[in-house]
Amino acid sequence: MDEAGSCASGGGFRPGVDNLDEPPNSRIFLVISKYTSESVLRERFSPFGEIQDIWVVRDKHTKESKGIAFVKFARSSQACRAMEEMHGQCLTPSDTKPIKVFIAQSRSSGSHRDVEDEELTRIFVMIPKSYTEEDLREKFKVFGDIEYCSIIKNKVTGESKGLGYVRYLKPSQAAQAIENCDRSYRAILAEPKNKASESSEQDYYSNMRQETLGHEPRVNMFSFEQQSEFSSFDKNDNRGQEAISKRLSVVSRVPFTEEQLFSIFDIVPGLEYCEVQRDPYSNYGHGVVQYFNVASAIYAKYKLHGFQYPPGNRIGVSFIDDGSNATDLLRKMATQMVAAQLASMVWNNASQQQFLFGGSSGSQLPQIQTDVALPSCKKKAPPDTPVKERLFIVFNPHPLPLDVLEDIFCRFGNLIEVYLVSGKNVGYAKYADRLSANDAITTLHGKILNGVRLKVMLADSPREESNKRQRTY
């Protein structure tokens, strides 16, 4: 009998292959000495909680240990505490090298890397809208030291959406909170921000995913045979009976990654962000998608609810009630559609411009649609004016036309030049006065103009950029 098989005789419940990640993050991955036995592992790790399985990886032919092992605990908090306290320790006095301990990646994740600590410390909760950040901290500080709390608020009204994040200093504290907090909070582990967003141009897209929604744990949302929504899918469903918003909830019997979710819903134009949420009570796929406008969300719900991905697995798409008034949203959608159609007719037809506005089409200013209070237009500075400040601009999802950019950034005065970087969603603005540049940052950073969100920040000086060491990743 091999090592994995022999551990069952040690007593306790041994999970099957399908239960290795139930609950998620309850397995630890060990790098150990080739001479470390299972009995030593059991002795050193059993103080942290109930061990369900120990598996020492062995060579198929020689049956010798490869110096790698897995320990499966009954609870995620037990595995996290074992990682925190045993990483870098020696198991026996004769060991010359300390062991390495990590939380093992889910078998269904499609990734072979191990989970990093920072991915295990932030939880997502549903809270009463009356909660302040101090209330949130007070409720969850009993589980451990909190690094920060944040409440998601409506960008226009500033009112709470009843959603929040709590970040702990240790993974075991976050796991304890998920396991032991009141079920009404629906606490789950928040999806980590995209680690590929390393550069200043890209980190903006990570910030776009700060608003998400959890799902009710322990509820069987995926019994497709019993739910008419999936078994008798009808695209002519009555939308009058459900809330309508720009945010969609996505559920699937098969787990999906953020890249897969993005590729599906990016088919519909206007995607603002998407985020995958981890449910500690299942391996099903949970996600949240948000569009810039309600029209795109309605179309995505209509087109993608019941869509099979992968083939044979239907995804469920439903609106998330964010407290918005459905009548106002539909009225705004209709207004936007009429305005867009009129704008398309006018700005693509010179004779229509002359008919509506008078004069030649070349004399008209670019059309700007935004809720931002912009100053009036000002004259540009001469091209040979010395540059006092440069601004770095990031666009999402695409750059604005150059004439629109110039019209926006010249309103703060002393603009010398604004230009785009070819092939990238970034650009630069040069100012002859630092105060004007600072006013542009204050007014435009994080705002949406013509459906494009801007990130505006001070740019590095050309000398500093040239001295930067090139990234190798």
Task: Report which listed range, 258-262, 358-362, 389-393, is most confident.
Answer: 389-393
Nearest to 70 by CA among 30, 12, 13: 30
Please check whether residue 178 is in contact with residue 189, taking contact to mean a CB–CB distance below 8 angstroms.
yes
414 in Cβ contact with 391 (< 8 Å): no
**Which H/E stretch holds residue 316?**
strand 316-319
pLDDT at 227: 37
The 10s digit of each residue's pLDDT in 420-457 is 988 888 999 999 999 999 999 999 988 888 888 899 99
Higher pLDDT, 310 or 293: 293
HEC profile of 367-392? CCCECCCCCCCCCCCCCCCCCCEEEE
Is the pLDDT confidence value at 327 over 90? no
Between the alpha carbon of residue 81 and those of residues 126, 143, 165, 471, the distances in Å are 26, 13, 22, 35
pLDDT class of 339 with cuts at 50, 70, 90? low
The pLDDT tens digits of the residues spanning 164-199 come to 999 999 999 999 999 999 988 988 888 765 443 333
Tokens describing residue 207: 């910030």
In this prediction, residue 215 has a pLDDT band, given cuts at 50, 70 and 90, of very low
Out of 79-93, 94-108, 373-387, 393-407, which region has the weakest mean confidence (pLDDT)?
A: 94-108
Q: Is the pLDDT of residue 158 over 80?
A: yes
Per-residue confidence at 94, pLDDT binned at 50, 70, 90? Answer: confident
Q: Which helix H or strand E contains 66, and what residues bound it? A: strand 65-73
Q: How far is CA 215 from CA 204, 279, 288, 302, in A?
A: 26, 8, 10, 21
* pLDDT attached to residue 95: 84
Q: What's residue 143's pLDDT? A: 94
Query: With bands split at pLDDT 50, 70 and 90, how would you rate the model's confidence at 96?
Result: confident
CB 158 within 8 A of CB 152: no
Please state which of the ranges 57-61, 218-222, 465-469 shows the lowest mean pLDDT.
218-222
Give the residue, 71 or 117, on which the prediction is more confident.
Answer: 71
CA-wise closest residue to 167 among 126, 129, 121: 121
Among 236-245, 305-314, 375-384, name the most confident range.
375-384
Residue 201 confidence (pLDDT) above 80: no
Give the length of the chain: 473
Per-residue pLDDT, 221: 35
Confidence of residue 358 (pLDDT cuts 50, 70, 90): very low
Separation of CA 221 from chain center: 22
> For residue 393, what pLDDT is reported?
94
User: Which is more confidently placed, 82 or 223?
Assistant: 82
For the record, the structure tokens of 150 come out as 């944040």
Return the pLDDT at 412. Answer: 93
pLDDT of residue 344: 53
Residue 5 has pLDDT above 50, yes or no: no
The average pLDDT across 7-36 equals 69
349 — pLDDT class (breaks 50, 70, 90): low
Mean pLDDT across the chain, nearest whole number?
A: 76
Per-residue confidence band for 242, with pLDDT thresholds at 50, 70 and 90:
low
Instruction: Count CB neighbours of 306 within 10 A.
Output: 15
pLDDT > 90? residue 306: no
Q: List the beta bridge partners of residue 407.
A: none
pLDDT of residue 72: 93
Structural tokens at position 287: 């996600």
| pLDDT score at 417 | 93
| Confidence bin at 203 (pLDDT 50/70/90) | very low
Check residue 218 and give its pLDDT: 36
274: confidence class by pLDDT, cuts 50, 70, 90: confident
> Sheet of 426-431: strands edge to edge?
415-420, 426-431, 389-396, 452-458, 448-449
